Amino acid sequence: MAIHKKSSAPMAELEGSLERAADALRSAEALLICTGAGMGVDSGFGTYRGRNAGIWAPLKALHMDLQDMSAPQHFETDPRLAWAFFCFRYRAYTSVMPHEGYDILSQWGARLKHGLFSVTSNVDGHWARTKGVGEERTYEVHGSLSHIQPLVGQRWNEALECYIGDGNVWPVDIKDIAALELPTWDLAPGEKVEVLLRPDAEEWMPAIVAKDGCAVELPDGSPLTAHAVRRPGQHDLCRVSESSVLPRCPTTGELARPNVIMFGDLKWCPTRINEQEAAFRKWQESLPKETRLVIVEVGAGKAIPTIRYAAEAATRDFPQATLIRINLDDSDVPDDLNAVSIGGMGAREALSKLDAMLGGSCGDCSPGARRDAGARASAVERNRSSLRESKNVRLPALQAPRSTAGRNRSVGRR
């Protein structure tokens, strides 16, 4: 087992790490960008765990966590609940501009002999929207909310004795998502509400909103686990309305779901991700073995270490490679790697500091560039404000888990 260098460091050591990272970037010939949920925090998103953890407000009333909610069976047993959760996330992700850290990394890679590739566990689609990266240079290892599939995306093949994808994945139709009537959770602490305690319950019972504005309880303060929550006589706040038409497969007409890997997911369709993986393999295998490859890993957690493993594997595959691990709390790196640990900083702060040390991305300090940066910052703050106002605070920049079906998927070089 590799020994890991500790991530906590005094300021002098941090400055030294930044300088080492800048030196590696100055001599780089290729850039591999590996990002996890921490990359999205500066866009106004939360993470699954840690100090920036976030939650969709109704989950507290339902006594569910993100893992409970990110399960494929909800699309079969309670599709209006499932689509409320994923619709909320889709609208938030697509309404936010990727923060300037995305452009910084893209512009670094644009200058290099062998260019760049992005590998991410995030399903927000932000790398596909980043100029200079796009769909053709992105491998979304857990899928993306930008695409959907039928409820069953894999089927058992008797001859091969395994599950295979049925290939039916298509881009989200914005009109379908816009047509979903998503209720706003704007309940106040102490407000009177009604709840259903079970799916088969016929009578709504009185309850009140807890002090956090999300959980519900009896008037005497006893906690409740609700199945549904509404203001007296009004609509359920945990689900899209009954009148909303749920997305369906345009070919078969069957109900659809996001093309992302969920917990315990045996029905996710891998077709699109397999195509992205093939493009990543092709780029990686095109690099000469002695390429000075720099792997910049940002915000990748330990709980589901897919991205950390991918970054470390790429570092081992290329003798001249350098890993730069940027992580607010978990920046420790293996002693056996040529690696730099940058801890105590978020994605945008660390990348901006490195960019300044490199003289600025492409040296673009024009008024137009400054206006674009200002627009991005304003958009991020507007998004944060709107999320706070709706009480759906800190939307998770979801790092979807590995499914049982995909547990053998590797993102290192073969």
Catalogue all structural domains in the chain, each as residue range(s) with its CATH number. 11-181+249-390 (3.40.50.1220), 192-230 (no CATH)
CA–CA distance, 290 with 292 (Å, rounded to integer): 6
Residue type at 82?
A
Give the pLDDT score at 321.
98
User: Which 3-state string (H, E, C) describes the chain?
Assistant: CCCECCCCCCHHHHHHHHHHHHHHHHCCCEEEEEECHHHHHHHCCEECCCCCECCCCHHHHHCCCHHHHCCCCHHHHCHHHHHHHHHHHHHHHHCCCCCHHHHHHHHHHHCCCCCEEEEECECCCCCCCCCCCCHHHEEECCEEEEEEEECCCEEEECCCCEEEECCCCEECCHHHHHCCCCCCCCCCCCCEEEEECCCCCCCCEEEEECCCCCCEECCCCCECCCCEEECCCCCECCCCCCCCCCCECCCCCCEEEEEECCCCCCCCCCHHHHHHHHHHHHHHHHCCCCCCEEEEEECCCCCCCHHHHHHHHHHHHCCCCEEEEEECCCCCCECCCCEEEEECCCHHHHHHHHHHHCCCHHHCCCHHHHHHHHHHHHHHHHHHHHHHHHCCCCCECCECCCCCCCCCCCCCCC
Percent of the chain with pLDDT over 70: 79
| Per-residue confidence band for 54, with pLDDT thresholds at 50, 70 and 90 | low
- Region 334-341 average pLDDT: 95
Residue-averaged pLDDT of the chain = 84
CA–CA distance, 67 with 54 (Å, rounded to integer): 12
Give the pLDDT score at 344.
92
φ, ψ for residue 78, nearest 5 deg: -150, 65
pLDDT surpassing 60 at residue 386? no
Better pLDDT: 102 or 264? 102
pLDDT surpassing 50 at residue 185? yes
Give the pLDDT score at 156.
61
φ, ψ for residue 36, nearest 5 deg: -120, -165
pLDDT surpassing 80 at residue 160? no
| Per-residue confidence band for 337, with pLDDT thresholds at 50, 70 and 90 | very high
- Region 384-388 average pLDDT: 42
Give the pLDDT score at 365.
39
φ, ψ for residue 327, nearest 5 deg: -155, 130
| Per-residue confidence band for 162, with pLDDT thresholds at 50, 70 and 90 | low
pLDDT tens by residue, 105-146: 999 999 999 999 999 999 999 999 999 999 999 999 999 999
Give the pLDDT score at 42.
82
Which distant-in-sequence residues (6+ apart) come within 8 Å of 124 by Cβ? Answer: 40, 45, 93, 144, 145, 397, 398
The CB-based long-range contact list for 130-135 (8 Å cut-off, 24+ gap) reads 130/98, 130/102, 130/103, 130/106, 131/103, 131/106, 132/103, 132/106, 132/107, 133/33, 133/102, 133/106, 133/109, 135/276
- The pair of structure tokens assigned to 379 is 């958009």
Please list the residues that pair with 170 across neighbouring strands: 148
pLDDT surpassing 50 at residue 380? no
Give the pLDDT score at 303.
86
Give the pLDDT score at 384.
43
Asked if residues 79 and 240 have their Cβ atoms less than 8 Å apart, the reply is no
| Per-residue confidence band for 95, with pLDDT thresholds at 50, 70 and 90 | confident
Better pLDDT: 288 or 56? 288
